[in-house]
Structures are given as C-alpha cells and as structure tokens.
Structure 1
Amino acid sequence: MTHHSPLPIIPRAEVRPAWLAQHAEEALEPSLPIIDPHHHLADHNWGGYLAEDLLADVSSGHRIESTVFIQVGFAYRDSGPEPLRPVGETERVVQIAGRANALQDGTQVCAGIVGFAELSLGAGVEDVLAAHMEAGGGRFRGIRCHAAAHEKFQYGVMNAPPLHVYLNPCFREGFSQLARFGLSFDSWAYHTQLDELADLAKAFPETPIVIDHIGVPLGVGPYAGHRDAVFAEWKARLQHIARLPHVFIKLGGLGMSVFGFPFHERKQPPTSAELAQAWKPYIHTCIEIFGPKRCMFESNFPVDKGTCSYQVLWNAFKRITAGMSADEKRWLYRDTAANFYRL
C-alpha cells in the first residue's frame, strides 16, 4: 500500500483542552479501586501526552491504583536494525514510569507494558521479543499488532496494515512465539475482522488474547446510519469468539470517531450521563457475553480525550455499572486487568 492512501480518511477526534474545560464533574464512587489497562504516551500526537499529563488525569478524583501502557508507535529507535526499533518504545516507557512513580506515591504508572513486534517476521521475531523483555525490566507483558483496516476508508493518518493480517501464515509463525515468552496479545481490529481474530485465537489456545475497544463496531463510512445492523453483526461475532475461554475484552474506546458518535463535534463536551446512555447497550452486551471476569474497563487515553475528560469517562462507566454487585465491579474495574496482565 502506498503512503498516500486513495481511501477517504476518517479524521480522529483531536484533544482540545479549552473545549474539555467547559464541563467538569466530581468523581462518582471515588473509593472504587481501578486498574487502567489501556493508555498511551505521546511526544506530539494528541497534543503530547507524557508523565505530567498522565499523572494529572489519573489523580483527577478516581482511585487509579495502576496503569498499563499500550503500544502506539511512540519513541521508536531511529537507528539500528528495523525489527528492533520498536524496543525503543519499551525503553522510553520504563524511563517515564520510573520518573512518574518517583514523583508520587499514588498510582503505579505503566506497571505493565505492551509493545509492538512485527510478528510477520515469523520465527525471526524471537530476538525482538527477547529484547523487549530485557528492556522492560519486569514490566513487559505482551504484544499488540494493529490490524484495523478496511477496504472503504482509513481511520486517522496512520498507515493502515494490510487486510487479513491475522490469517497470514508468517504472522502466525511469529504469533506462535508469544506463548514461549509467556506474553499475551492485544488485538486492535474492527468488528468486520472479528471472525479472523476468532480463527487466530482457535489456533493458539495457550496465548491469552484481549480484544481492544469492544471490537470496534464501526459507525463511519459505509456503516454510518446503520447502527442497529452493525450492532447485531458485532454482537453475533462476539458471541462466537467468546466461546474461547482465553479471549478477553476491553470496555472502552467508544470516544474514538470511528464509532460514529458525534460528541466531539458539539459545541460543549458531553456529560457522563449522556455518554452512559449512548454506550450502555454496547458495554452491557460485552459483559453479558463475556462475564465480568473476562471484561476490563479501559480509558484509551489520550485518544478518547478527544471526546471527554478522564473524570467524565470513568463517571460514564460507573453510571453504566450502577446496578451491578460489588463483586462484579471488582472484576470489571480491577481484578480482570490484574489477572490478564499479571500485575
């Protein structure tokens, strides 16, 4: 695929601090312990998101015990062998975590790290995984490979991966190395790709897999205006993949423009009550299908910060789970993530 994609580009929701500042809320259930198992760091993207930004968010009223950094193409090495360049991300995150955790005694920032390795290298990816493990200093937990691609559009300006990457034999040869290192796999793919992920998961029952961002039921491009049909298709695919007990799901990411919710286009940012109303059918469906012990809430910050603040995001989740038991909440907000990422 050439760098200049001929596909229409779906712009992402950009972070606008002044817009977000128009609406603030007190944290609901402030004593509920949370592990945030999905956030990124950035030098420039989303206006930059480094230690002070992350610490400001996690200390904004909710009880965030620890976090997991997820691969985002951040701070790759700019020299040396191409396959090893993503190890620079793990090195930089370890540095940032060390500084951030020395500054405060509340949240254990980046207690787990999920990096990138080009699994299509096949057996040759072994050296990359070993380098990540060494660089991670005990924090390295897994690999994420961006597979989110569609033949009709592109989301954001990232280079889209080739279609059907999860079916590629070289990719699978690389994937087979994860279990040897005791690593998990994060999948970032659209609802249209969930059957390919199910096929991959069936082939590797020993590797824990988590579906990021509820499996991204699309609401843009050819799916705009077809929310009910997409919901039904997405739900059926989740029911199919949930039969595999080593597959988990992250509840979040709905602040991304690719879901087709127009909150980021409004003059005023949404309240947690408005977000809860829009997101509840999706979150409840995931919990019904997978059960609380295989679901974990995620912030997906700073990406979802294009739609709402960190306080408002977790308030929306807490509104959605208002009727659930203390035990269910413990799994959804903390224990599933702690188990999956071995924190």
Structure 2
Amino acid sequence: MTDSRTPEAILEPDLPIIDPHHHLWDLRPMLPMFPEPHHHFIAALVDNAHYTFDQLQTHLNSGHNIIGTVFMECSAFYDASLGDTLKPVGEVEFVNGVAAQAASGLYGPGRPCAGIVGHADLMLGSEAGAVLDALRAAAPRRFRGIRHQGAWDADPVVLGPPFHAPEGLYRDATFRQGFAELGKRAMTFDAWVLEPQLPDVIDLARAFPDQPICLDHCGTPLGVAAYKGRLHERFDIWRRNIHELAKCENVVVKLGGMAMAFCALPEDGPAAGHGSEHLAALWRPYIETCIEAFGPERAMFESNYPVDYWGADYAVLWNAFKHLTRSASADEKAALYAGTAARFYGLDHLLG
C-alpha cells in the first residue's frame, strides 16, 4: 500500500477522532474463493490481503489525531477448533490481543481496538445467546456487540458470492429471536445492508425500539453492476429511506464507506489518487443528508479501512470528511468525530 504521491497537509490535526469502523485480517489464504481478480471489489482486497496491526498503526500515525478505534467483524481469524457456532470467538480473542498490545503505550497514545464488534449467527435463534456470552467472555473489557450483515441483491455481480446474505434476513422470525438476545445483554448491533434494503433496517428498528442499532456506510449507495450509472436516479429513494430510518431514535449512522467499490464514488481504484476536495464533493450529498436526518449526536465518521482504500488513502479520507465539516461548530465536530462513537460504543474514557 505504498503511495508515491505528495501527501496532503493534514487538516485540523488536533481534532480528536475515534475511528469506529475498521477491520484486521489476513485474506491471503482465502483469495482463491473470491471471484477473479478483475472483479470490482476484489482488486482492492488483493492489495490489502494482509492488513493487521502494523498496517493499521501506520495509518493511525498519518497525522490525524486518532485517539481510539473500534474493530468491526470481518470473519477473520476464526477458531476452527471451537466448531461452527463458536468459531467467531477466535476473532474477538485475536483482536483483544491486538488491543492489549496497543494499550501498552509502546506504539503511541492512541488506543486501537478499544471497542470490539464481533459476529454471532443470529439465525441460531435464542441459542445465539450462548455465543454472545462467549464473545463477551473473550474480551470482557472491550467487547461491545455484533454485526450480522444482511447485504443482498438480486444481481449477484453487485456483491460477489462470498458476501451474499439471504434475502430478507432482517425480517426473518428466527433471526429476530436471536436479535432479541442482544437486548438482554445490553449489546449493540451494526447493520450492513445495501441501499435497496434500507426498508428492512427500518422495519427491524421499529420492531425493537430499545435496541441500539448502527447503520453502516450511509446505507451503501450502489453504483456498480445493475446499478451502474444509477446513483442520481436512486438518490431520492435513498434519501427518503434515510429520513424515515432517522425517525427511529434507537438508530445512529456511520458516515463513510463511500470510497468502497460498491458505491462507485469514485469509480476508479484502488487508491485512484483523487484529492480530498474532489472526494468531499462526491460524498457531500450523502454525508450532508445523513447529518441533516440524524443530527451530529447520532452520526459518526468512519474510515472503513482497509476496504475504503479503493478510493482514498487514510489521511486523504479524513481530510475529505474535514472539508465537509468546515462550517460545523466545535460541538458538532466533537460529536461527529468522536462523541457519538464514544457514547454508542461505551468509549467515553477515551475522551478524557
């Protein structure tokens, strides 16, 4: 992930940031299961097949004031010895070790993986509770909740085979039995769906009004495969659903993921070399709509690294966000860059 371009000057370098969404993985053994390398998404993954603590630390030291991060599940480092049901515990164990390494202070003042979001298969129904308990036991100080992604589309090329969830997952009765186990344990839920599926998240949030839910990646607008060239056409549909979802006070939104290949904002990649002002212009309609709908107290900027390497390097990505908040007040910036993430994921201790 080297870059020969002249680095941008870091905007507002003292602004505290909690990056609430990044991954750690080693995909090299898994690459043969993915579609051929020219697939719109896998091209970025090939360049980032190995993304662990050293690479993350390089990005956190890029000049922005990253005071802490939240790890987001990505099916990495599962423990096969635990069996299919409990193997996601291995991912949390691994990340908790990374967090402990960072907490030593040897690598700087920031606290990577201060919060950990793992995975449990909620299609286990009420039996998912035992998995949730095992995940918490693996990282009792840092585990916050789970993500069970529901991304699906009728066009299989949009996602590629490894990423498809069942159609209508979040409306499934058995899934919702498992989902109810989160509330019994005061755990968070991250929802990743594609833009046409936003009504599924709305329905889920209404059915569980006391369950904290975070919508990942602005709801993932689509600009590839069957949706190529249709971002403008579908914008009003996306905007109506975002405003409808925002009426659910238990939901917050992550502002990011726009540099993923799925969104085609930009279309070229990986790390196409666009400057932060250009990226800010591409993302402005989506980011500003989300902030308008949810308010700064229910919105948080995210890196979604290394997936968003497709369209932006880490420093440029945060500069783009800062361009978008030039006119925001100090209190609004405090919420958008750290406060909302701290409150949702229980990381207030990072704010001092």
What TM-score comes out, normalization by structure 1 length? 0.92
**Cα deviation, residue 106, structure 1:** 1.2
Q: Distance in 1 between matches of 2:77 and 2:196?
A: 30
5 Å-filtered alignment, 1:1-343, equals 17-18=1-2, 20-44=3-27, 46-102=48-104, 103-153=106-156, 154-265=158-269, 268-343=272-347
**Cα deviation, residue 217, structure 1:** 1.3
**Cα deviation, residue 156, structure 1:** 4.4
Give secondary structure in 2 for the equivalent of 1:81.
Answer: helix
Whether the aligned pair in 2 keeps the contact of 1:41 and 1:69 (CA below 8 Å) is yes
Q: Distance in 2 between matches of 1:267 and 1:242?
A: 32
Q: Distance in 2 between matches of 1:229 and 1:283?
A: 17
Whether the aligned pair in 2 keeps the contact of 1:78 and 1:85 (CA below 8 Å) is yes
**Cα deviation, residue 224, structure 1:** 1.4
Report how many residues are paired: 326
Q: Distance in 2 between matches of 1:135 and 1:81?
A: 16
CA gap of 1:267–1:24, structure 2 versus 1, over 3 A, is same
**Cα deviation, residue 281, structure 1:** 1.1
Give secondary structure in 1 for the equivalent of 2:123.
Answer: helix
Corresponding letter in the other structure for 1:143: I
Whether the aligned pair in 1 keeps the contact of 2:69 and 2:114 (CA below 8 Å) is yes
Deviations 1:227-263 (CA, angstroms, capped at 9, x unpaired): 2221100000011111110110000001111102245
Whether the aligned pair in 2 keeps the contact of 1:263 and 1:269 (CA below 8 Å) is no
Give secondary structure in 2 for the equivalent of 1:22.
Answer: coil
Residue in 1 that maps onto 2:34: none
**Cα deviation, residue 26, structure 1:** 1.7
| Moved beyond 6 Å, runs of 4+ | none
**Cα deviation, residue 33, structure 1:** 0.5
User: RMSD of the TM alignment (CA)?
Assistant: 1.4
What TM-score comes out, normalization by structure 2 length? 0.90
Corresponding letter in the other structure for 2:96: V
Whether the aligned pair in 1 keeps the contact of 2:270 and 2:311 (CA below 8 Å) is no
Q: Distance in 2 between matches of 1:156 and 1:274?
A: 28
Give secondary structure in 1 for the equivalent of 2:82.
Answer: coil
Alignment identity in percent? 44
- Structure 2 residue runs of 5 or longer lacking an equivalent are 28-44, 348-352
Give secondary structure in 2 for the equivalent of 1:38.
Answer: strand
Whether the aligned pair in 2 keeps the contact of 1:152 and 1:222 (CA below 8 Å) is yes
Corresponding letter in the other structure for 1:72: C
**Cα deviation, residue 157, structure 1:** 4.9
CA gap of 1:267–1:146, structure 2 versus 1, over 3 A, is closer
Q: Distance in 2 between matches of 1:143 and 1:201?
A: 15
Give secondary structure in 2 for the equivalent of 1:122.
Answer: helix
Give secondary structure in 2 for the equivalent of 1:80.
Answer: helix
Residue in 1 that maps onto 2:31: none
